[in-house]
Structure 1
């Protein structure tokens, strides 16, 4: 299977946290729901199943397993956009939810198609595609995020909502990678712009924003101990998603620190 074919499959399946030590702490009165896209459903980790590619090794199920909330709704789905969250996930959300986590926005901004372009064409084309995504993030995504956050607040007005960021994909820059330095820098720049806009709109909604980049620092693709998958052949959708370590040591600590 060619790299282009592998990356093409990302369009329909991808976007684009507590260590395992220590005793579980019961949160018996908390009703928790994990919303969002593939970075919340657990794509990239082992144990994915169903059409939404949900994994018990995603940060949401890991947190629930260790904290024993009163209930846990795992509604995140691979490939989800803001429209999917509003039209499919929020209608299924328990209106009495006390705690909600979400990653969303990467699919809206065309993250997967950007990666395909950067892998299969020139540095100039990669930069142009990233710039197109940045323009979308600046001009269109804010309204979509605002509508999504408002819908969450309307459905579960008493919930503490934690909006998690996306990690940077590469070190600054990584050496010995298949992609050129120019492409790595462009992709990371696009991710930073996306995270900054997500942070801005989450805080405007009165939600908690949790940054995962520090937790992934030193563990990007091409690092000695990566928390992210590079381009994978089987299964192809794992490409550019956190691996088991990424969810357990990256996303889970970031969520735990913000869950309250």
Structure 2
């Protein structure tokens, strides 16, 4: 997921991006899969500014050299690997082109073939609008709750409605993968705990306690929707959330797996995309995917 502020940071910093190593797990001796395709939004691209790469997608997709798909591909030693993940992607960008600053990411499904036998998918957060909403919650006054004030009216929670509406889109995405790659083992990832329920940490992350708690609950709703889709479609859900408690953006460097509003990461040191995984978060996702694959 990438919101408006993050896209502006990406566009301004694209020319200054540098590459760095990703700390991938050790490759296994015999490949279990022949063709691996990674699909998804910025939480699958593990959006980065300090170690972004244009190897597979336009540079402004902010795809990290140390992203979990690249770690998984290295650990599995897959002969063919294509990474279509891109910051800001929605389900629309599975079948349609995605315009980003200075380039276009082709439809992500274009990377799928009849011989693809492994697919990881991380999608839904942008379809529900949760990424943009996180940035709407930012405030300079801890007494204000801009998200609750604008998105909740009595018993009507607009974000809950958005999440429910995204369910059909994620389902259709999985159906589209199966049509193009009927042999593929499909792993659907949820979103780990970048924000948590309960009080926030204003002003370190400038979101009021009420809005922080609401965001944490909306993330749980989003992940519950993804779990329903996985059950209904028969794909495997990779649960990255339940094993990520205590590593949200409010935690100190070296402990947090996602950054806050300040676009700087200590893991690795350098420019970061606000409210997105750092390298520790990407490493966690890779471990969970490999565990699901029995590695």
Mark yes or no: TM-score above 0.5: yes
Alignment of 1:142-161 (within 5 A): 142-161=167-186
The equivalent of 1:58 in structure 2 is: 67
Displacement of 1:159: 0.6
8 Å CA contact 2:194–2:257 kept in 1: the answer is: no
The equivalent of 2:103 in structure 1 is: none
Q: TM-score, normalised by structure 1?
A: 0.85
CA RMSD for the aligned pairs?
2.7
1:126 matched to 2:138? The reply is no
Unaligned runs of 5+ in 2: 11-21, 54-58, 97-106, 265-269
Shift of the 21–158 alpha-carbon distance from structure 1 to 2, 3 Å rule, reads closer
Distance 2:9 2:115 in 1: 30
1:25 matched to 2:51? The reply is no
User: What's the secondary structure of 2:31's corresponding residue?
Assistant: strand
Alignment of 1:1-260 (within 5 A): 8-10=4-6, 23-30=26-33, 31-44=35-48, 46-49=50-53, 50-87=59-96, 88-120=107-139, 123-127=144-148, 128-129=150-151, 131-138=157-164, 140-173=165-198, 176-178=201-203, 179-224=207-252, 225-233=255-263, 238-248=273-283, 250-260=284-294
- Tell me which stretches of 4 or more aligned residues in structure 1 moved more than 4 Å: 11-14, 19-23, 121-124, 234-237
8 Å CA contact 1:215–1:251 kept in 2: the answer is: no
The equivalent of 2:19 in structure 1 is: none
8 Å CA contact 1:9–1:236 kept in 2: the answer is: no
Distance 2:250 2:146 in 1: 23
More helix by share: 1
Shift of the 193–70 alpha-carbon distance from structure 1 to 2, 3 Å rule, reads same
Distance 1:22 1:43 in 2: 19
Unaligned runs of 5+ in 1: 1-5
Residues matched between the structures, number: 249
8 Å CA contact 1:26–1:69 kept in 2: the answer is: no
Displacement of 1:123: 4.6
The equivalent of 1:3 in structure 2 is: none
